[in-house]
Amino acid sequence: MRGTLIFAGSSCPALTGKICENLGMAPADAELSQFSNGETSVRILTSVREKDVFVIQSGSPKINDTIMELLIMISACKGGSANKITAVLPYFPYSRQSKKKSHRGAITARMLANLLGVAGVKHVITVDLHASQMQGFFKCPVDNLHAEPLIARWIRHNVPNWKEAVVVSKNAGGTKRVTSLADALKLNFGMVTTDKKRGSNMTASMIMNHLDGIERQPFLESISNQVRNNSSGPENGTAPADNGQPRASRSVADANGSPRRANGLSARTPSHPRPHSRAQALSQASTLSELDEESEPDGPEYNDQRAHEVTHGRLVQGHIVPDDFPSPATSAADASVIEEDPMAMSHASSFFAQPHALGGSGDAASSDEEDEILKNPKIEHMITLVGDVKNRTVLIVDDMIDKPGSWIAAAETVVKRGFAKRVYCIATHAVFGADCLEQMQACDCIDAIVVTNSYPIREDKARNASKLVVLDLSFLLAEAIRRNHYGESMSPLFLHMGD
Amino acid sequence: MSAEMANEIKLISGRSHPDLSEKIAKRLGIEVARTISLNYSNQETSFTVGESVRDEDVFVMQSTATGDVNEGLMELLIIISACRTASARRITAVIPNFPYARQDKKDKSRAPISARLVANMLQTAGANHIVTVDLHASQVRCCPDPKTRGVANRAAVDNLYAEPSFLRYIRENFTAEDCVIVSPDAGGAKRATSIADHLNTAFALIHKERPRPNVVGRMVLVGNVVDKIAILVDDMADTCGTLVKAAAVLKENGAKSVLALVTHGILSGNAIETLNGSVLEALVVTNTVPLGDKVERCPKLRVIDISPTIAEAIRRTHNGESVSYLFTHAPV
């Protein structure tokens, strides 16, 4: 392309090479090194005057060095009178810190967006931002590309019997991403959610309550009752059990607007994210969506179905255990003591603030913190699977794989509890912190790990991981660069092709 | 009680130099604020302030440790951003050793002016004020001061000097008449003459050719050092190649002994080994940069505590007093 220069950051020479190959050009010359005191040194070895400059930089284990290098490269190009500088960030660093998670935490992603602006960026191209609202952090235009069409295509071509597969989200926050893929492939979807177990007696009664249906209502469960009545009653005609609180029930319904799928998801009471009420609401949602497609509103069968679709499991040290496994936390009192122990909650957000003080736990961004807690041997979790996966292929989908805990827990749940046939773990960004890839490779319940090359994967790690499948993003990025340069529309890149 | 009264100094320390932060806090008679700073498994930095900074006068202390410059800088930016989000009234970045200070001019085609970039980044993150010690070159000094104030508005820069501390060190340890102050390069001549003037001693200069950064070419001495204690004065000692060569040149020219006074002891690479094998009698640095175990590894290394100067600057900045007193006096 005339008048275009593509610079490769040191994090992703391979990806840049492929992108340039796609565009039929060579990466521009730049010398990237470090001074002996660790400061980054950048030398741009070719004229950039009045050129359309693209700087490609992904993440790396030395993420802060990578960011500084990117900023200095951009600054150098700006100082060298480049016409327009576009940052191509297949993986946007710090994208998980996109909101104030605790009191006085930093919104680092926004700061980074501002820093890019200060350095001289006029346009940003990125892939699958952790939170798409982040586009609002930038003053310049942002193209947030989706890897979903690529992933959907791979599924259609490579997953045997994919039409029978179920797409599963491993936490509540990721449900949107999952439903999007499920819609594109016209598949059913399910969800796995993890809760800290609050005392064994209580949980048992909750499960009983679930399986027995609506008739048995211990008066303690009035909150869940409202939610359930609200979401199930008006929709499908099951008689709402009148528990003497019609006023409260109605007010919830009003606040939520139309009680359809969205209602089911949002109907959980924010201050008491109890496992049973959430699961109940969600089972409702998934069943409803199924009903919409199959149109078999058969009353009694539907109730049976619902009972089958919610599956519980016990999670100790990040693994599913049998029902008779001795409980590590014997009483509710013990559990509450642990909750206040700062060492048990090593993450910053839960150190000072109460865990649920700001924002709920059912949040995509908090999956990492949940991961930390999952590893604690003293805390038992209840893991809930919503949706029928028996003898089906399960596609567990999220935007990035960093820590293995929640993936392994979800995979074990769908296999050991839901009796799924095969499990694919699918994500866009293969961050693979620490020994994540090794652990996922070692997990018997995971059959394949499907990622893209947005984040560089270490060669030696990838070679030992037979389950790993890496999809190539370079065509998507190259096309985005080309369309950007020529001023063409980006929209075709978001479409699912029917091949 | 007006709102002014509630406004207090909050000293927040980054992870690079907790030792200096403690010393400053002690001078100020306050505690370093409780914070949590950690790295995720993919090395992204996460930071939380443990106490309220709402409407407080926040000072963020962060030096840059050798080899971890970018890590420290990103952490500093995140801390400033966190304080800004947490409604601090004013945020002052206290950076004794300003990172990328040497990349301060477009000396080659398309060379990045990283020092200016860093200054702009600090302002973007939310810093109102920057306090630093002995910025490398006059360009930077005037870059954030009058020029950058135009470019990126608001943030003012206070550049403190280690010179008063050095003057006291020389007066306490030597007789001024026996000394000659030597600048190891033409760029540092101003600093050296200033010290020489204050001590009323002789001054010499070494001219050097520097083909590339951290590589030293030929050296020529201008001035007389025969039978004198030659005191090399510079702003930073990185790989120490320059200092050691200069010391050798001074010895060859008849100096009785050679020592060096340097503000920032970055001492990267194999600086310690270079120093140990050199004719330098002593290298005196301030503690602007965390030295770690270097003091144990190098018997020639002496450290002057700079924390009184920084603490006093913080106090004066907070109270709205003049900082210029510190340009000529070192608080005891």
Q: State pLDDT tens for residues B274-292.
A: 999 999 999 999 999 999 8
- The number of residues making up chain B comes to 332
d(CA A160, CA A357): 45
- Cα dihedral sign, A246-A251-A252-A253: positive
**Range 400-429 of A in CB contact (< 8 A) with B:** 402-403
d(CA B62, CA B43): 19
The domain total for chain B is 2
C-alpha distances in Å from residue B55, one per residue of A66, A107, B123: 34, 19, 19
B23-39 confidence digits (pLDDT tens): 999 999 999 999 988 88
Domain-embedded: residue A254: no
Interface test with A, best of B41, B104, B289 (most A CBs within 10 A): B41
Contact across the interface for A348 and B121, Cβ inside 8 Å? no
- Do strands B57-61 and B90-95 pair parallel, antiparallel, or not at all (unpaired)? parallel
- Do strands A142-145 and A30-34 pair parallel, antiparallel, or not at all (unpaired)? unpaired
Token representation of residue A40: 């980054």
Reading chain A (499 residues) residue by residue, the pLDDT tens digits are 889 999 999 999 999 999 999 999 999 999 999 988 889 999 999 999 999 999 999 988 889 999 999 999 999 999 999 999 999 999 999 988 888 877 788 899 999 999 999 999 999 999 999 888 888 999 999 999 999 999 999 999 999 989 999 999 988 888 888 889 999 999 998 888 887 655 444 433 343 334 433 343 444 444 444 444 444 444 444 444 444 444 444 444 444 444 444 344 444 444 444 444 444 444 444 444 444 444 444 444 444 444 457 778 777 777 877 777 776 654 444 433 333 333 333 443 334 433 333 333 333 344 455 566 666 666 777 888 888 888 899 999 999 898 888 899 889 888 988 889 999 999 999 988 888 899 999 998 999 999 999 999 888 888 888 999 999 999 999 999 999 999 999 998 988 876 6
Given CB atoms, is B289 within the 8 Å cutoff of chain A? no
Question: Are B178 and B270 part of one and the same domain?
Answer: yes
Element (H, E) at A319: strand A319-321
Question: Are B170 and B243 part of one and the same domain?
Answer: yes
Domain-embedded: residue A256: no
pLDDT at A427: 94
pLDDT at A348: 39
Nearest CA in chain B to A347: B38
Token representation of residue B73: 């800088």
Given CB atoms, is A358 within the 8 Å cutoff of chain B? no
Q: What angle do CA A425, A429, A435 make, to 5 degrees?
A: 70
Domain-embedded: residue A319: yes
Question: Are B11 and B105 part of one and the same domain?
Answer: yes
**Which of A336-370 are b and which e, b meaning 16 or more Cβ less than 10 Å from the residue's Cβ?**
eebbeeeeebebbbbbbbebeeebebbbbbbbbbb
Residue among A36, A43, A111 whose CB faces B269 most closely: A36
Domain that holds residue B72: 3-161+307-328
Min Cα distance A381 → chain B (Å) is: 23
Strand partners, A33: A41
**Which comes out higher in pLDDT, residue B209 or B46?**
B46
d(CA B68, CA B59): 21
Min Cα distance A65 → chain B (Å) is: 5
Token representation of residue A303: 């109730």
Interface test with B, best of A31, A50, A111 (most B CBs within 10 A): A111
Interface test with B, best of A64, A99, A140, A370 (most B CBs within 10 A): A64
Domain-embedded: residue A435: yes
Question: Are B140 and B261 part of one and the same domain?
Answer: no
Q: Are A281 and A268 in contact (CB under 8 A)?
A: yes
Question: Are A47 and A173 part of one and the same domain?
Answer: no
Question: Are A360 and A419 part of one and the same domain?
Answer: yes
Question: Are A106 and A188 part of one and the same domain?
Answer: no
pTM: 0.79
- Cα dihedral sign, A209-A210-A215-A220: positive
Instruction: Name A492's Cβ contacts closer than 8 Å, sequence gap at least 6.
Output: none
Domain that holds residue A443: 150-197+309-471
In one-letter notation, the amino acid at residue B43 is: Q
Q: Are A37 and B67 in contact (CB under 8 A)?
A: yes
Question: Are B88 and B169 part of one and the same domain?
Answer: no
Question: Are A98 and A169 part of one and the same domain?
Answer: no
* A contacts of B214 (beta carbons < 8 Å): 35-36
Contact across the interface for B109 and A97, Cβ inside 8 Å? no
Through-space distance between the first and last CA atoms of chain B, rounded to whole angstroms: 34
Contact across the interface for B81 and A76, Cβ inside 8 Å? no
Min Cα distance A447 → chain B (Å) is: 24
Instruction: Return the CATH number at B130.
Output: 3.40.50.2020
Given CB atoms, is B105 within the 8 Å cutoff of chain A? no
Residue spans of beta strands (DSSP E) within chain B: 9-13, 35-39, 45-49, 57-61, 90-95, 129-133, 156-160, 179-183, 202-208, 219-222, 229-237, 257-265, 282-286, 301-304
B72-122 confidence digits (pLDDT tens): 999 999 999 999 999 999 999 999 999 988 887 787 888 888 888 998 999
d(CA B330, CA B164): 5
Question: Are A425 and A481 part of one and the same domain?
Answer: no
Instruction: Return the CATH number at A53.
Output: 3.40.50.2020
d(CA A474, CA A14): 10
The burial of B200, by beta-carbon neighbours within 10 Å (0-12 exposed, 13-18 middle, 19 or more buried), is given as: exposed
**Range 156-215 of B in CB contact (< 8 A) with A:** 213-214
Given CB atoms, is A61 within the 8 Å cutoff of chain B? yes
Instruction: Name A115's Cβ contacts closer than 8 Å, sequence gap at least 6.
Output: A67, A71, B77, B121, B124, B125
Question: Are B11 and B129 part of one and the same domain?
Answer: yes
* B contacts of A59 (beta carbons < 8 Å): 42
Given CB atoms, is A105 within the 8 Å cutoff of chain B? yes
Domain-embedded: residue A259: no
Domain-embedded: residue A387: yes
Starting at the edge strand found earlier in the chain, the sheet holding B9-13 runs B9-13, B57-61, B90-95, B129-133, B156-160
C-alpha distances in Å from residue A134, one per residue of A35, A124, A137, A169, B48: 34, 12, 5, 22, 21
Domain-embedded: residue A361: yes
- Cα dihedral sign, A58-A61-A67-A72: negative
Torsion angle (degrees, nearest 10) of CA A220, A225, A227, A232: 160
**Range 297-326 of A in CB contact (< 8 A) with B:** none
Question: Are B253 and B299 part of one and the same domain?
Answer: yes
**Range 29-88 of B in CB contact (< 8 A) with A:** 36, 38, 40-50, 52-53, 64, 66-71, 73-75, 77-79, 81-83, 85-86
d(CA A79, CA A452): 34
The domain total for chain A is 2
Given CB atoms, is A107 within the 8 Å cutoff of chain B? yes
Structure confidence at residue B216 as a pLDDT band (50, 70, 90): low
**Range 222-281 of B in CB contact (< 8 A) with A:** 238-239, 266, 268-269
Nearest CA in chain A to B70: A65
Question: Are A104 and A183 part of one and the same domain?
Answer: no
Please give the ipTM for the structure prediction.
0.86
d(CA A43, CA B111): 6
* A contacts of B121 (beta carbons < 8 Å): 71, 115, 118-119
pLDDT at B210: 67
Domain-embedded: residue A101: yes
